[in-house]
Amino acid sequence: MKSTNKTNNNNTATPFPSSLSYEPTSVLDPRATSSPASALSAATTDPCNIIQPSNPLDESDALSWLLYEKDNLSPPLKPYQHNFTDDLLDPFQPQITSFTHEYNHLELLVQASHLIDTGDLQSAHQLLARLNQYFPSPSGVPIHRAAFYFKEALLSALSLQDQPAEQPLSAVEVVCRINAQRLFSDLSPIPRFASFTANQSILEALDTIGQPPPSIHVIDFDLGLGGQWSSFSQAVAERSCLARMVPPAIRLTAVVQNRTPETTLAAENLCDFAQSLGLRFSVDIVCVAGIGFHALGRIQLIQGEPVAVVLSPAKVCLKSSGADTYKLLQHFLHIAVPRVVVSVDTDCFNPTSLSQSVASGLEFYGSLIESVEAAAASMGMGEEAVRRVELGIFRPKISEVVGSWCGQSEPFHEMLNGARLTPVGFSQNTVAQAEWLLRGASVDGYQVPRRDASLVLSWHGKDLVVTSAWRS
């Protein structure tokens, strides 16, 4: 794809070559690992006794799951979809025992969250306790397993005031989470799709800056294990090499709730990996616990340095639950003046109440578990692999769904519009490469439709990831 910046057409060299030179293999090539080097020993210990999938990569590379695809295909499963918000039941009326509908207990779970919305915490707790007999463990069909995790998350939220502060993950737990994430990427294209589309949007925004800057600043609200930025670093190094120019330094600011061993490990590994590529790379951690997004004032901005921001709607609410969350974020975006803001929505619902969050979450995570289960069956990995992903990835995310609802009645995209940002869509090259990426999925059923200016990864019509790019 040719650059859209016509003023650079006569330049003999640009800081980043056109997107055409950014082949999908720069993200997916198994020989070009983007995984932090120091994660090697952590993954090989494998204290969780996780079933290791067969793949062409070095098995000791704990984050190399971002870089390869699968070729085995199997017939798709028919997903279950039901709108649980059509009608909320009265859980304390006798007639509920006469219902024969298979999913009435799911509707009762939504009703319990509705009781929490209305402040009737005692009745909500009683109803959730009754649901223990229907969802005693994460078993059964995917949507019932999702219901179990939501039930547990709601019970935990109700008793939160009586619980001690959450303890940081131990070293063994961090390794377990790394391995669960690795399995998830083996079984699903979601991590690769989300990282690739976000990185490509940032790289294309930087293509328009003319002369190469001495440094670029990326602000991430969902660092996780940092796999996205190892891929980004590799892409920057490759583009700079092709342009025969000195690569810019990369400053990464990670906005997190608290500094944890997981955060520290990700930062150290990213710096080590970037150094192996010959890049100058630094990570600054900004913690928002206690003061919410007022902490964004601690982010160091340098005049003239191009800025890119990566947001996750659920993570935004999780990190700052006050009524002024969106206003503080808008204020920061006005000050930072980013060249691009990328929204990566991996929950795909924007509820205005906790009950809507649970209802939409049941459908979403039911489909997500179903897609992973289908891939595991196709690859011969068995139920144990799916269970590891559910416990290590989906259960914490469902807890975040319950804990991150912050009462924001304004949809996330309207918040971005309020920050004077406009969706810009994705280039044909990005769409083509995203579609090419899905050829490695182990099962059929995934699609990459465009919706307005967004790029969507769906499973049998159910959205799993929605990515959009915004500029001022």
pLDDT per residue over 237-253, tens digit each? 998 888 888 899 999 99
- Greatest mean pLDDT among 29-38, 274-283, 353-362: 274-283
Say yes or no to pLDDT of 73 above 50.
Answer: no
- CB atoms near residue 139 (< 10 Å): 10
Say yes or no to pLDDT of 32 above 80.
Answer: no
Share of the chain above pLDDT 70, in %: 72
What is the arithmetic mean of pLDDT over 163-181? 76
Does the pTM exceed 0.75?
Answer: yes
Separation between Cα atoms, residue 195 and residue 467, nearest integer Å: 10
- CB atoms near residue 377 (< 10 Å): 16
Please report which confidence band the pLDDT of residue 408 belongs to, taking 50, 70 and 90 as the band edges. low
Helical axes 121-131 vs 142-158, angle rounded to 10° = 140
pLDDT tens per residue, range 110-159? 999 999 888 899 999 999 999 998 899 999 999 999 999 999 999 988 87
Contact 239, 18 (CB under 8 A): no
Contact 305, 215 (CB under 8 A): yes
Least confident residue range of 28-37, 42-51, 321-330, 398-407: 28-37
- CB atoms near residue 75 (< 10 Å): 9
> How open is the CA angle 440-141-457, to the nearest 5 degrees?
30
More confident residue, 189 or 410: 189
List helix spans (H) across 52-94. none
What is the arithmetic mean of pLDDT over 317-331? 80
- The radius of gyration computed from the CA coordinates of the chain, to the nearest angstrom, equals 22
Q: Quick one: pLDDT at residue 201?
A: 93
Separation between Cα atoms, residue 85 and residue 88, nearest integer Å: 6
Separation between Cα atoms, residue 61 and residue 64, nearest integer Å: 5
What is the arithmetic mean of pLDDT over 448-461? 92
Contact 65, 181 (CB under 8 A): yes
Least confident residue range of 67-76, 90-99, 179-188: 67-76
Q: Quick one: pLDDT at residue 426?
A: 92
92-101 own/partner pairs: CB under 8 Å, 24+ apart? 92/123, 92/127
Separation between Cα atoms, residue 191 and residue 196, nearest integer Å: 8
Please report which confidence band the pLDDT of residue 404 belongs to, taking 50, 70 and 90 as the band edges. low
Per-residue b or e along 400-420, where b marks 16 or more CB atoms closer than 10 Å to that residue's CB = bbbbbbbebeeebbebbeebe
pLDDT tens per residue, range 213-235? 889 999 999 998 898 999 999 99
Say yes or no to pLDDT of 39 above 80.
Answer: no
Say yes or no to pLDDT of 307 above 70.
Answer: yes
Phi, psi of 251 (to 5 degrees): -105, 115
Separation between Cα atoms, residue 439 and residue 443, nearest integer Å: 9
Question: Which of 304, 279, 277, 302 has its CA nearest to residue 210?
Answer: 304
Q: Quick one: pLDDT at residue 110?
A: 93
Say yes or no to pLDDT of 94 above 80.
Answer: no
- CB atoms near residue 129 (< 10 Å): 12
Q: Quick one: pLDDT at residue 287?
A: 94
Q: Which two tokens stand for residue 97?
A: 């025992």
pLDDT tens per residue, range 423-441? 998 989 899 999 998 888 8
Taking the mean position of all CA atoms in its chain, how far away is CA 330? 21
What is the arithmetic mean of pLDDT over 192-205? 93
Say yes or no to pLDDT of 269 above 90.
Answer: yes
Q: Which two tokens stand for residue 110?
A: 């939504």
Residue positions counted in the chain: 472
What is the arithmetic mean of pLDDT over 321-336? 87
What is the arithmetic mean of pLDDT over 3-13? 42
Q: Quick one: pLDDT at residue 260?
A: 87
Total H helices, total E strands in the chain = 16, 10
More confident residue, 86 or 401: 401
Q: Which two tokens stand for residue 121?
A: 């915490």
Q: Quick one: pLDDT at residue 142?
A: 94
What is the arithmetic mean of pLDDT over 364-370? 95
225: left (phi over 0), alpha (psi -120 to 50) or beta: alpha
Please state, rounded to an integer, the average pLDDT across all residues of the chain. Answer: 78
DSSP state of 471: E
